[in-house]
Amino acid sequence: MLFITIALCIVLLILLISWLKFNTFISFIIVSLVGGLLLGMPLEKIPFAIQKGVGDTLGSLLMVILFGAMIGKLVAESGAAQKISDVLLKTFGEKNITWALVLTGFIVGIPLFYNVGFVLLVPLIFSIVYRLKLPAVYVGIPMLSALSVTHGLLPPHPSPAALVNQLHADMGKTLMYGICIAIPTIIVAGPLFASTLKKMNVEPLQTFKPKEVDQSALPGFLNSIITCLLPVFILLITTYFNLNQQAAATPGIIQFIADPSMLMFISMLYATVALGIARGSSLASIMSTYADSIKDVLMIILIVSGAGALKQVYVDSGVSAQLAEAFTQLQMPPLLLGWLISAIIRVAMGSATVAGLTTAGIIAPVVVATNTDPSLMVLAVGSGSLTLSHVNDSGFWLFKEYFNLSIKQTLQSWTIMETIVSVMGLTGVLVIDYLLK
């Protein structure tokens, strides 16, 4: 009966979002209410569980997501993303164009939410396509594979950061493992896979042909790189301290900076000065850019909070403990189980974020019961959430329309690329898990 109830909740969530076209946040709240009733929770306790789930989730994540969105928007609008791309293109040359785009997507993709990053970086791809007369899909897949990997695996990106919160993982440790997995994953799903798509020669829509920006108006390369990667640098440095010292011996300043909300706040202040005020932008215009960035990620904030509500219903109803006991009796490795559940929900629903966060609510007690490394579970679930993107995924249609492809061509390029990322991610997780034992 337990598994039937969980399955009914997932099916209801799928129907509300995919068939009835309900708002995802509203769908999560409806499913949380229905789930609470089906699981036998007292009626008066269901609202409290939902409120607690929303509050607890947003309490630690809200600033991370918002400050990350602000940094990403300023990086794009200041021309820092274009500067990084231009320098890498000159360094690598036309022959190695795909490698330059991989690095651009990886660097710029860390602070950018995926859909925002796609819309802001695709013009860079098309500028290269028109300038060098290369196949658009061959040029685009490497950069977008890097964007996809950062979206699914690397905190402080909103989706993996939310999984870190749900599964009580260490963000710095997750980032280190994630980078180790991301590098080979991007190489295979990006340049290597793109080399098989050279004959898929389509003409992108002229609507998206970018205007050339005067090079003198762009920020410096070093300034652009440091601003993009500052959150990563801080996380890696503080994680090094935490791993090499007892928690009580870690200096207070390191503990302060290591807090995800504080490191993103510090990075945002740095970006405000380095890419804004120092280059002559008024504080009012920078704040206006930040206000626009909040609109870009408002829905992801609501989705994350809705997933937190459903997770809390599972916890308060006692179903989490029952799930842990049931799953621990299976002969399947927990990391593979987390990937599989996330992959199934992703294929059914389309949204990587929803798939990952829904899985986290189900798999969290298994992590504790089996003593699984929560950082590796974050990466396993994140990898599963990228599997087999198809017609129910907004990313699928973004790629199809911008690159002017048929559905068949999109399946042959985008869908396969996303699946390669997912499988490579799982492989990396299992390898690291084996090496750590």
> Tens digit of pLDDT for each residue in 165-190?
889 898 888 989 999 999 999 999 99
With a cut of 60, say whether residue 210 has pLDDT above it: no
402: left (phi over 0), alpha (psi -120 to 50) or beta: alpha
At residue 361, the pLDDT reads 81
Residue 350 has pLDDT above 70, yes or no: no
Helices (H), 272-282: none
Q: 3-state secondary structure string, 87-147?
A: HHHHHHCHHHHHHHHHHHHHHHHCCCCHHHHHHHHHHHHHHHHHHHCCCHHHHHHHHHHHH
Closest CA to 160 of 100, 235, 103, 226: 235
- Cα dihedral: 37, 42, 46, 47 (round 10): 130
- Interval 6-44: pLDDT, tens: 788 878 887 887 788 888 889 889 999 998 999 889 999
**Nearest by Cα to 424 from 117, 161, 103, 193:** 193
**Dist CA 163 CA 374 (whole Å):** 9
pLDDT tier, 373 (very low <50, low <70, confident <90, very high otherwise): very high
How many CB atoms sit inside 10 A of residue 45's CB?
13
Domain chopping of the chain, boundaries: 2-436
Mean pLDDT score, 45-55: 91
Q: What is the mean pLDDT of residues 114-134?
A: 71
Q: Is it the case that residue 245 has pLDDT exceeding 60? A: no
pLDDT of amino acid 26: 92
Q: Are 104 and 124 in contact (CB under 8 A)?
A: yes
Residue appearing with tokens 């990403």: 72
307 or 423, which is more confident: 423
Residue 2 has phi, psi (to 5 degrees) of -60, -50
Q: What is the pLDDT of residues 36-47, one digit of tens each?
A: 999 889 999 999
CB atoms within 10 A of CB 390: 17
